[in-house]
Structures are given as structure tokens and as C-alpha cells.
A and B are shown apart, each in its own frame.
Chain A
Amino acid sequence: MNKLGRGHRDKVQQFMTITGASEKVALQALKASDWHLDGAFDVFYSQPHPKTFTDTRHLEELYNRYKDPYADMIMADGISTLCNDLQVDPQDIVMLVVSWHMKAATMCEFSKQEFVGGLQSLGIDSLEKFRERIPFMRSELKDDQKFKEIYNFAFGWAKEKGQKSLALDTAIGMWQLLFEEKEWPLVDHWCQFLQARHNKAISRDTWSQLLEFARSVEPTLANYDAEGAWPYLIDEFVEYLIENGIIVK
């Protein structure tokens, strides 16, 4: 550690704090990623590493703190409290990432299994560790592959239990949230279009295809292929953009 320059030392420190790994591991990961923190995280988390010890007793305590008085689940109130403790806004997108790690089935509730299991996989057993982990979880949204997984996860998570499709209002809310992170210039037009012309729930196929569309087709629609087997809703959206002069072809 003493042989390292100041910047590097800081990075090692940061890494250890965030991942809870040892100095040796931290050095390894950072060297492997050429002293880029993000890369180092990738390296670290993609390797099968010995499970960081989490104290199950602590986890129980944490769970009980947030659990609903009448059901064996954490419900809206509990989540509110949790967010408070984490100093995070309940609407903050990082909660989505948390839910994704927990493989939560539905928004606004965590089962005991989901909560405990999720935290264990993250190597968190205390609020402090949880708080420290928040920046990392935010950074995961920057990763293309992870973002896609989180995005697709969000559909099942946000929709009503037992429904096949996602209610339009919820979908719009989610899109606005998600595309704040991963910018897509057409997101507002898309939401307006849906409210004006569609007014029905969103299917899973449309949801997942929209991300593809946002990623592969330019905002000017220069490379939009009408024969590209896009869901009809997206075709209609393109027509809407052209009709209203938003895009000129």
C-alpha cells in the first residue's frame, strides 16, 4: 500500500469500503482494470468469490425492523422507513436496482426470502454497509448489459399481480424514470403519443422492444427500417412523429 501513489491509495480504500473486500483483493482487481474503479468492480463481481460473511442474525434484525405488523412481508410503510434509513428518496431509481438484486416479484413489497436473500447476495448485513453500497448500485445502471436486465425486470415488477400487461400510467412513469438515466431524446414524445393514441396497457413484447428501438434507431429515425418487424405500436409512433412534423423524412 505504501508503494502506491495517493490517487491509487484512495481508490483501493474506496474499493475496499464499497465491496468489503480485502486489500489484497482490491489491489488485484484495480491492477487488472488499469486502476479504473468501474472496471475493478466488474472484475470483482464477475468472479466467483468466497461469499462474504454476512451475519444472519443481523439480517433477521433488519428484516424485523421493516416488516409489516400483520403480514410476513415488508410493505409500503416498511419500504418508506428503509428509504429513510438509507437516506434515499423512495422514488429514486436505485430502489429499482435494489429490487432487481432481490428478484422482487412486485413493486412496493418484499417477501422475507427476497429481502434476506437479496442482501446476502450483495454481502450486506448492516445499514451502514447498505448505505455504502448505494453508489455502486447506481453505477450498475451505466452498464449496458445490466441496464437491459434491470429494464426488462422492471416490467414484471411494476405490473399488477396476475395481469399480463403493464398499465399505461405506470409504464409511462417507469419510462420517464429509466430514460432519465439512459437518455433517450424521444421519450417525452413517446409518452405523449401513448396517451393521445393508445390508452391501453403495454405488452411485454412492446416494453422490451422499445429499449431495442431506443438503442438501435437514431432519434432522427434516419436508420429506421419499416420492414424491421418492430411492434406495431412503435410503427404507429413513427407515423405519429412524421405526421406531426416532429421528424421530417
Chain B
Amino acid sequence: MSSQKKRNFQIEAFKHRVVVDPKYADKTWKILEHAIHEIYNHNASGLSFEELYRNAYNMVLHKFGEKLYSGLVSTMTQHLKAIALSVDASQGPLFLEELNRKWMEHNKALQMIRDILMYMDRTFIPSTHKTPVHELGLNLWRDNIIHSPNIQTRLKDTLLEIVQKERGGEVINKGLMRNIVKMLMDLGPAVYQNDFEKPFLDVSANFYRGESQQFIECCDCGDYLKKAEKRLNEEIERVSHYLDAKSEVKITNVVEKEMIESQMTRLVHMENSGLVNMIVDDKYDDLSRMYNLFRRVPTGLMLIRDVMTSHIRETGKQLVTDPEKLKDPVDFVQRLLDEKDKHDKIINLAFNNDKTFQNALNSSFEYFINLNPRSPEFISLFVDDKLRKGLKGVSEEDVEIVLDKVMMLFRYLQEKDVFEKYYKQHLAKRLLSGKSVSEDAERSLILKLKTECGYQFTSKLEGMFTDMKTSQDTMQGFYEAMGPALTDGPTLTVHVLTTGSWPTQSTTTCNLPPEILTVCDKFRTYYLGTHNGRRLTWQTNMGSADIKATFARGQKHELNVSTYQMCVLMLFNNADRLNYKEIEQAVEIPAVELKRCLQSLACAKGKNVLRKEPMSKDIGEDDEFYFNEKFSSKFYKVKIGTVVAQKESEPEKQETRQRVEEDRKPQIEAAIVRIMKARRVLDHNNIVAEVTKQLQSRFLPNPVVIKKRIESLIEREFLERDREDRKLYRYLA
């Protein structure tokens, strides 16, 4: 035996002999290619996912990614081209169905392919910035199918045709539409927009343009709006059923523009059915529809508002300048309130309580109410009517409602000081005749006026109430003090009025009958005894009296008369016949008043306690008057007095207006002085502007009157003109 040599025994690692066989890549690719074919031919079930994945993985690993990718591209393209032919070959309605079916198949295939090629998707593609598989699949579909010339046009036309059919009322396959549209959306926004949406919007615009023309010729406004609304809703529904949600605003814009915006002026002004007619006829539904449709369009609401405003102004103007409607002031004001209520309701129910509409309504009312200079007087008469009898038996809440409505009208008045004057007059009459329905209601209204206009407005009014209360106490004191001495005279009730608080009346002469004079003097003595330094003047033109009269067959009546009437009637206690001149001499009442008084006693039906010869309506200087023995009345108490507030006669109106103007002068001067004291130096136009602003809550001052007041102040050395600039005024301390 030979000697043993030690040998190092090395175990080498098992080297897998990877043969980088160029043919290897081809072979692998062929396998994959075959797989793709099978997938497209619906034979995927025979494939092994694991094997295919591994093959793809190996190719990428051995740096054959490029080959794999380009192979994928060409294979897929090949198949898609074939699909395109097949789709294009289908006829009529089958076109979309075929397209849809092929699309779904493609998506399934694409998914499988992507799964197989997942490794490449995750490594090779990102590093080489190539399009990922799924996206690639979509792009290829887009380029080879959708954008193949025939299909592109045919697809677009078919889709639009279907939409048109639906608009025509036909039933369509919404599901199919949805799928096709979704396909376009999946292919990217550019595809959806260019291949469908843009043409869709263009065609729709043309369609609706035509429809709007057609409808406007044959429909009235209300019907047109209904149709437009219907179309609009249809489009919204269409979008929800099978279009991209983003298309909604675009298509609704088209409908709004073609059906609403282009026709809205014509609609609003349509004869017999336009906006004005709807308002007049209270067509809430139609108006609401118009509002909701027009608000979608930039100037739609403005159009409605403007037309409504000029309509209200016009009707309002007619209302306040129509002599027929002005005959009864209470009725007139009630109409104003009704108009306001009507339009408030329209704005509430149909115009969504839109504030701009409310403002337009308010400014319109303000405009036309002030067109009639008698508005303040009439509103005061309305209030007077309510507070005298209109609110009898009405609940407290309802009273408040009526008073609030009155306040609303009051706010519209520009000449609030005129209202104040009349209100005072009418309140005085109500208080003195005891004709107020409820003192609470009176006080409530005064409180509202105070809140609106401040303390000065109402301080005098409150003074009137105080006087009434005080007078009650005074009367009590009088009767307690004088008790026994008064039992056989007539019963006297005196209201002592503080001069500043009550409306000014010029005192007139009047000879009271001796019985009355006696008791009046007793009161005077009593009063002046307890109130030093005061002066009392009897206001004979504001008083009233209750007289018991006995007629021919012993009938007795109690007559409620004014003081003047009492003086005249008492004369007939001592004479059966008197002529005008004798009466005039005896009572010394001024002619105008006396004639009116005699008319009410002798010429009024049912109240003629005197008889006149001749029987004419007017009082002549030679007329003779007799006590009317034959007077009769159903009622025991007969009211003949006239101390109720009425619409003023022309001369009275002038007088009141003059007094208002006189009252305004000191107010304007006070404002000027206030302003100049603060500013020291100011030019003419600015003074006028400031004065107007300061006084606007009471009345609108006339610039000419302001100028005159300034000149008066210059003369009285409150102001002077600047030596250099004659338009500038300076305050003189």
C-alpha cells in the first residue's frame, strides 16, 4: 500500500447554472404573449397565475423589462385594433352595447394582465418613468378605440341622439348610458369633456334656444315658466342618472341662459300674464316659480324688483291722487294698509322674504304716500276713527296690531310734524268729548310715537292727558266746596286746559246764557282762589251741553249740542220767533260759525229742532227761525253737536299748513345755530345738507326757507358772511 496524502475537501456552493440564453427572453416572452392572447380570448382559466407571474418576474430580473413592456404594448394594441373593427361593424343600437361589452372585457383582461405583470409595475416602470400597466391599458383603449375616427364620431353622435330622444319623452337605457359615460370619465377628464361634454353642451344650447323661441310664442308667462322649470329639473335628473356630477352646473347654466336669461324681459312684461298681472292677481305659485328661476340668473332678481317697484309706485300714485278715493280719509288709509298687506304677503310667500324686495316696497310706499300733502292728516283721521269707535270690543293684541300698522305708515311720512299737529287736534277733540274707546290704546300709541320720535314729540300730548286727570280732581274739589250753592243751577263740568299743551284755538266772542254765566263765574272764583296768578279763558268753541227740551205734545227729548248751539236754543225760551240778525246780536258769535251752527239746528234732517223760513239750505241774513214744535225722533237722546274730528275744509287746511310752516322756522334756525356753533365756519351748500339731515326725522326742509333763515340770522347778527368768500358763513359768538 502507498502513503495517504491529505487533501482539502472543499464543498462548493451549489451554483445554479443560469443560462443567460438570449433565446431565453424570447421564449419567456412567447409564453406571456400567449397568455395575453388567451386572456383576450376568454381562455384565461387554463392559465397558471403563478407560472406567468414568475416568468414576468424573471424577465424583469434579467433585465428584459424593456422587451416585456414593448411586447405588452404591441400585443394589446393588436387586440384593441381588432376590437375596434368589431365594434365599428355593429349596427344601430348594438353599437353602444358592443362597445360597453368590449370595455368591460377589456377591464377584466387588464386587471389580470396587471396582476401578472405586477413586479414590472412596481419596479421597472417607476424607475424608467413609463406609464403603469393599468393606465397604459386605458390609454391604449382610448387611442385605439375611442379615438379611432369612425368610432369617435359615431360614439358622440349616438350619445347625443339618445339624450335628445330622452328630451323628446322617449324611454332610454339609462344603465347603458351610465356605463358608457363612466367609461369616458375613467379615460380622463379631457376625454369626457372633449368627446362628450362640450358637444353635449353645444347641442343642448341650440336645442333650448329653439325651444325657448317656440314656447315664448305660444305660451303665457306662467306656462312658460312651468316648462322652463320642468326642463331644468329634467337636466338635473339626467346628470344624476348618467352624467358626471360636475356637468350639472354647466348644463343648468345652459338652460338658464337660453330659457330664462334670454327671455326674461319679455316674460316679465308679457301682456295679461306678466309679472304685474301675477302681482295683481296674487298668483303666489307663479311668482314663487319666477323668483326661483330668475335668481339663478345674474340680473334676474333685479329685473323683478324693478318692475315690481315701478308698478307699486304707479298704483300708489294713482291711489293718492284720485279724488274719488280721497273722499273718505279712513277708507283711503285702509286701502293703503291693504296694499301694504297684499305686497307683504307676496314677498313673504313668493319672494322668500327677500330683504331687498322689502326695501324696495318700503321706498315705493314712502315715495307715493308723500305725493299727497294730505297724507299726514288722513292717517291721523284714520287713527282717530279707530280710537273713537273702530277698536271697540277688539282684543288687546289686535289693538296692538292695528296701532303697529299705523306706526308703519307714520314712518313713511316725510312731514311728521304735520301729522303731529293733526294728531294733537284730533286727540283734543277725542278727550274733550269723552269719545275715546280706551285710554290704554291711546297711551300705547303715544308710547310708540315716543319711542320712534323722542320725548319732545309726545310731551305735550301727555300734558293733555294730565290736564284731563287734573280737571277731574278740580271738579271734585269744586263740588265739595260749593256743594249746596250749586244745587239749583245747571250742572257744570269744566276741563281746565294748559295753553301750551293743547292745540291753539283763537278765542271767539260768545254770550253765554245768564244761567250758565252764573255757574261759570262761580267756578272761576273757586279756581282762581286756589290757583294764584293764572288766567282762565272760556273756550266756547269747544264745549258741549245736554239740554232737556219739551215739544208740542209734551214729548221730551234730551239734546246733546255744542255750546254755540246751546246759546242759540236758549234764546227760544223767551221767544218763539227770532230772525238771524236778532240771534246774531244776542249771542255775538262770529258769522261763519253762527251760520254753521244754525244750519245744523234747522237744516239737518232728523235734527231740526228749529224751523227756518225760507226752507233753503243756506242761511241768509233775513231768515227767520222758529222753535220747531213738531220735531220728533225715535230716540230720547238726540245728538246734534258737532265736535267730531273731520277732514278739514280748504281754508282750514291752508291755515294749518301756514301754522306748520311758521313752526318750522324756529326749528330750522335752531338747527342752523347748532351746526354753526359746532363748525364755526361752513359754506352754504354744506349748511343746507346738514340742516336737512338733522331735521329729516320731522320734516323735509325747503332749501329756499333755509336760505331765508340764514339771512334772518345774519340780520340778527348770529352769523356773518366771510369777507373773501361770499359763500362761506361764520358763526358770531
A and B held together in a complex: yes
- Chain A residues lying within 8 Å of B324, measured Cβ to Cβ, are none
CB distance from A89 to the nearest CB of B (A): 34
List the A side residues contacting B727 at CB < 8 Å.
228-229
Q: Which residues of B contact A70 (CB under 8 A)?
A: none
- One digit per residue, 1 when the CB lies within 8 angstroms of any chain B CB and 0 when it does not, for chain A 207-233 equals 001001000000000000001110110
Which residue on chain A has the smallest CB distance to residue B712? A203
User: CB-CB < 8 A to B711: which residues of A?
Assistant: 203, 205-206, 231-232
Within 8 Å CB of A229, what residues of B?
683-685, 707, 726-727
Q: Does B227 have its Cβ within 8 Å of any Cβ on chain A?
A: no
Please encode chain A, from 168 to 207, with 1 for each CB lying within 8 Å of some chain B CB and 0 for all others.
0000000000000000000000000000000000011110
Q: When A227-B684, A229-B683, A229-B726 are in contact, do A205 and B704 touch as well, CB less than 8 Å?
A: no
A212-B726, A227-B684, A229-B726 as given contacts; A235 in contact with B721, CB under 8 Å? no
Chain B residues, Cβ within 8 Å of A204: 715
Q: How far is the CA of A98 from the CA of B711 in the complex (A)?
A: 31
Q: Does A19 contact B (CB under 8 A)?
A: no
Q: How far is the CB of A202 from chain B (nearest CB, A)?
A: 11
Chain A's closest residue to B706 (CB) is: A232
* A165 interface hit (Cβ, 8 Å): yes
CA distance A164 to B708 in the complex (A): 16
Q: Taking CB as reference atom, which chain B residue is nearest A208?
A: B721
Q: How far is the CB of A200 from chain B (nearest CB, A)?
A: 12
Known contacts A229-B727, A232-B707, A232-B711, A205 near B684 by CB under 8 Å: no
Q: Report B690-714 CB contacts with A as 1/0, cut-off 8 Å.
A: 0000000000000010011001001
- Chain A residues closer than 8 Å to B715, beta-carbon distance: 164-165, 203-205
Answer whether A232 and B704 are a contact pair too, CB < 8 Å, given A164-B715, A203-B711.
yes
Inter-chain CA distance A212–B721, complex, in Å, is 13
Chain A residues bordering chain B, tally (CB within 8 A): 14
Q: What is the distance, in angstroms, from A203's C-beta to the closest C-beta of chain B?
A: 5
**Bound Cα distance from A204 to B714, whole angstroms:** 9
Residues of B within 8 A of A205 (CB): 711, 714-715, 721
| Measured CA separation A204–B712 after assembly (Å) | 11
Q: Residue on A with the closest CB to B707? A: A232
Per-residue interface assignment for chain B, residues 75 to 117, with 1 indicating a CB less than 8 Å from any chain A CB and 0 otherwise: 0000000000000000000000000000000000000000000
Closest approach, in angstroms, between the C-beta of B363 and any C-beta of chain A?
27
Q: Which residues of A contact B683 (CB under 8 A)?
A: 229
Residues of B close to A227: CB separation below 8 A: 684-685
Flag if B726 contacts A209 (CB, 8 Å): yes
CB distance from B342 to the nearest CB of A (A): 43
**A212 to chain B: which residues have CB within 8 Å?**
726
**Complex Cα spacing A165 to B593, Å:** 41
CB distance from A191 to the nearest CB of B (A): 20
A235 to B704, CA, bound (A): 9
Q: How far is the CA of A206 from the CA of B714 in the complex (A)?
A: 10
Collect the chain B residues with CB atoms within 8 Å of residue A235's CB. 704, 707
- Chain A residue, CB-CB nearest to B704: A232
Contact partners of B704 in chain A: CB under 8 A? 232, 235
Distance from A232 Cβ to chain B, minimum over Cβ atoms (Å): 5
Task: Give CA–CA (A112, B721) in the complex, Å.
Answer: 34
A164–B711 CA distance with the chains assembled, in angstroms? 13
A205 to B715, CA, bound (A): 7
- In the assembled complex, the Cα of A212 lies from the Cα of B722 at a distance in Å of 13
**Distance in angstroms between the alpha carbons of A36 and B541 in the assembled complex:** 81
- Residue numbers in A under 8 Å from B708 (CB-CB): 232
Complex CA gap A203/B707 in Å reads: 14
Contact residues, A95-125 vs B (CB, 8 A): none
Report how far A228 CA is from B684 CA in the complex, Å. Answer: 8
Shortest A198–chain B CB gap in Å is 13
C-alpha spacing A245/B721, complex, angstroms:
32
Please report which residues of chain B, range 368-422, place their CB below 8 angstroms from some CB of chain A when the two chains form the complex: none
- For B704, B708, B711, the residue with the greatest tally of chain A CB atoms inside 10 Å of its CB is B711
CB distance from A59 to the nearest CB of B (A): 35
Residue from A204, A227, A235 with most neighbouring chain B CB atoms (10 Å): A227
Contacts of A209 in B (CB 8 A): 721, 726
Listed by A's residue number, 10 A-B pairs whose Cβ atoms lie within 8 Å are: A203-B714, A204-B715, A205-B715, A205-B721, A209-B721, A229-B685, A229-B727, A231-B707, A235-B704, A235-B707
Ranked nearest first, the 6 interchain pairs of A and B with the lowest CB-CB distance are: A229-B684, A229-B727, A205-B714, A232-B707, A203-B715, A232-B708
13 further A-B contacts with Cβ under 8 Å, apart from A209-B726, A228-B727, A232-B708, are: A165-B715, A203-B715, A205-B714, A205-B715, A206-B711, A227-B684, A227-B685, A229-B685, A229-B727, A231-B707, A232-B704, A232-B711, A235-B707
